[in-house]
Each structure stands twice: as structure tokens, then as C-alpha cells.
């Protein structure tokens, strides 16, 4: 799952824009946000269907990294180049490192964790962005925001403890999902500045290139006895292509323009659809099973995030 990469952005002023054009912009922004959420919601069941029965976690992670790098660099050939400031190269390297942590550990989580659990835990990620900003950027947070963070954290802990009681291996996968949330939140904090200075494609082509370079040693973890290679089934190959093309490439490209069109607040609301979509698809296709703690923990996490967002809006004016 992925959320906004510029949490402080708001929708652009459109007062001088013709009404028809304004409505069209809002419509497209909502459609992009909805399509991204659907892709992210399908991402977890697709990964769970592949890992580890058809392909290893390393295989999926490295396919995403190297596949997305190639595709985005091809797209960049048709986009005007932008010169990266010298001071930003270090940030892009750090962003690449966090991307490796997110994508690789995200795939490892599916060896044992529930797809629904992972989707719910990743919903906690916006609160981690607030916490990281408070620790490393010394941004002030109100008592109400802290309360929201604690509530959301409690929901994530419920997923981990309840899932672990069902299966000890599941506990390890849930902890991997927490690491995913932390590394992705760190990634969002790192690229907040560069994302305001460069176009999406120009920014992502360098981040993915650095991610691919950092990931090169992980090629030695690949196995050659994966079913997706030795069998002629078309469905696993289609699922892997979907994971590379849509939750990875498409979502990273459409998120910034969608935020600019409708604002980060409205965009973030669509993220709450992700675990719902994951749950529905996982149950329909019998990829995962439903447990009582999952909707309860989701409500707690979303409640904490909403409370923190309300506090942020209240005390920022």
C-alpha cells in the first residue's frame, strides 16, 4: 500500500478556473485516487496468491524493483528532463534505500502473514509519518494528535497480537508489515522536499534507479526452482505483471497529480478503501480467511488517524 507523498499539500486554488474545467479536474483527481486505491487493494491478495507457492518473496520484490525501473526510465524518455540539485542526490539515495526496505520486506511478510492483516497494518503508516516528523524534524504535535497516534498504534498492536495467537508464523509476518510501514513512512518524509521541486517521473526514475543498484546483492537470494518459471500457468505470470505495472508503476505516477487536483485530505480518505478491497477479494478467491479482530482493529486505526487529522486541521488555523 501506498499513501500520499506530500502530506502537507492542499488542493490548488481554482477560483479563477472556469466551472466546467474545475469540475473536470476534481473528477479526474477522484478517479485517479480511486483507481490507485483499487490497485493497492488488489496488491495484497495478488502477492499472497504468488508467495511462496509460485514465486519466492525475493522474486516478487526484485521483479517490482527492476521491472518498475525499466518501465519508468522508458517513460522518462518522453518527459522533459529536470536538473537535480546537488543537495538532493543524497536524499534520493536515502529514498532508494527506504524503498528497498519497504518493497523487499513487504514481500517477505507474505511468507506467513495474512494479506488482510498486512493491509490493515499499513493503514497505520500516516501516523508514523507524523511521529517521524516530530522526532527528526522537530515538528510540534498537539496532545490530540498524540492521542490519535496512540489509538492507531493500539489498533496495529491488536492485529499483531491477535494474528500471532492464531499462528506464530503469522506474528513474524505481521512484524515484517510493521517494518514496511516504518520504512515507507521514512521514505515519504525523505522525499517530501524533492517531490515539490521535481516532476513525478523525473523524481521516480532516479529513486528507482538507486533502489535497483542497492538491490543488486539481493539477486543472490533468488531461487531457480520457482513454479512460475518451471510451469506454463498463465495466471501467476499475469498476477506478477499486474503487481509490477499497477501497484508499483501506475500508483507512484498518478498519486502526485491526484493530490494536486483534490488535495491530500480527500486523497487520504480513499486509502481507507484499501483494506476493505483486500478483505473482499481475499475472501471471495479464498486467498485468506476473515477473523473478528480485523474489522475491529481497522476501525481503531482509522479512528486514530482521523482524530489526528482533525487535530492537525484544528490547531493549524
| pLDDT tens-digit series, residues 105-129 | 999 999 999 999 999 999 988 888 8
Sequence-distant (6+) residues with CB within 8 A of 18 are none
Section 294-307 average pLDDT: 91
Contact 135, 290 (CB under 8 A): no
pLDDT tier for residue 166 given thresholds of 50, 70 and 90: low
Specify the residue for cell string 528532463: 81
Section 55-71 average pLDDT: 96
From residue 131, alpha-carbon distances to 23, 80, 157 in Å are: 35, 36, 16
Helices (H), 216-272: 227-230, 234-243, 251-262, 264-270
pLDDT > 70: what percent of the chain? 91
Alpha-carbon dihedral 240, 6, 255, 80, rounded to 10 degrees: -100
Looking at residue 7, its pLDDT comes to: 41
Q: Range with the lowest mean pLDDT among 216-220, 222-226, 237-241?
A: 222-226
Distance of CA 238 to the CA centre of its chain: 21
Q: Which of 180, 138, 161 is nearest to 296 (CA)?
A: 161
Q: Which of 17, 16, 36, 15 is nearest to 259 (CA)?
A: 36
From residue 243, alpha-carbon distances to 1, 18, 32, 159, 297 in Å are: 11, 38, 17, 25, 26
Section 285-311 average pLDDT: 89
Contact 151, 303 (CB under 8 A): yes
235/229 Cα distance (integer angstroms): 12
The answer to whether the peptide bond before residue 52 is cis (omega within 30 degrees of 0) is yes
43/38 Cα distance (integer angstroms): 9
- Which 8-state DSSP code applies to residue 198? S
Section 148-165 average pLDDT: 87
Looking at residue 97, its pLDDT comes to: 97
Average pLDDT value for the chain: 88
Could you report the per-residue pLDDT of 200-214, keeping only the tens digit for each?
999 999 999 999 999
pTM as predicted: 0.87
Section 95-109 average pLDDT: 96
Contact 271, 116 (CB under 8 A): no
Amino acid at each position: 500500500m501506498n499513501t500520499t507523498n506530500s502530506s502537507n499539500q492542499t488542493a490548488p486554488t481554482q477560483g479563477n478556473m472556469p466551472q466546467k474545467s474545475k469540475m473536470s479536474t476534481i473528477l479526474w483527481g477522484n478517479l485517479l485516487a480511486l483507481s490507485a486505491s483499487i490497485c493497492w487493494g488488489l496488491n495484497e491478495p495478488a502477492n499472497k496468491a504468488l508467495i511462496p507457492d509460485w514465486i519466492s518473496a525475493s522474486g516478487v520484490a526484485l521483479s517490482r524493483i527492476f521491472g518498475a525501473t525499466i518501465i519508468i526510465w522508458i517513460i522518462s524518455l518522453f518527459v522533459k528532463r529536470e536538473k537535480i540539485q546537488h543537495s538532493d542526490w543524497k536524499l534520493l539515495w536515502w529514498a532508494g534505500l527506504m524503498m528497498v526496505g519497504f518493497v523487499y520486506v513487504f514481500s517477505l511478510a507474505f511468507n506467513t502473514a495474512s494479506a488482510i492483516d498486512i493491509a490493515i497494518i499499513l493503514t497505520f503508516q500516516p501516523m508514523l509519518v507524523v511521529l517521524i516528523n516530530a522526532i527528526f524534524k522537530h515538528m510540534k504535535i498537539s496532545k490530540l494528535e498524540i492521542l490519535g497516534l496512540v489509538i492507531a498504534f493500539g489498533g496495529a498492536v491488536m492485529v499483531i497480537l491477535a494474528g500471532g495467537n492464531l499462528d506464530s508464523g503469522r506474528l513474524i509476518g505481521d512484524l515484517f508489515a510493521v517494518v514496511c510501514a516504518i520504512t515507507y513512512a521514512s521514505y515519504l518524509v525523505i522525499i517530501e522536499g524533492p517531490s515539490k521541486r521535481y516532476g513525478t517521473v523525473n523524481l521516480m526514475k532516479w529513486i528507482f534507479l538507486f533502489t535497483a543498484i542497492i538491490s543488486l546483492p539481493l539477486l543472490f537470494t533468488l531461487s531457480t526452482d520457482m513454479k512460475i518459471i518451471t510451469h506454463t500457468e498463465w495466471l501467476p505470470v499475469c498476477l506478477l505483471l499486474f503487481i509490477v505495472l499497477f501497484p508499483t508503476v501506475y500508483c507512484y505516477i498518478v498519486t502526485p497529480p491526484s493530490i494536486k487536483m483534490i488535495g491530500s485530505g480527500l486523497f487520504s480518505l480513499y486509502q481507507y478503501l484499501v483494506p476493505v478491497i483486500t478483505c473482499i477479494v481475499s475472501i471471495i478467491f479464498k486467498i485468506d480467511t476473515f477473523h473478528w479482530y480485523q474489522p475491529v482493529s481497522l476501525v481503531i486505526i482509522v479512528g486514530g488517524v482521523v482524530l489526528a487529522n482533525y487535530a492537525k486541521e484544528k490547531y493549524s488555523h
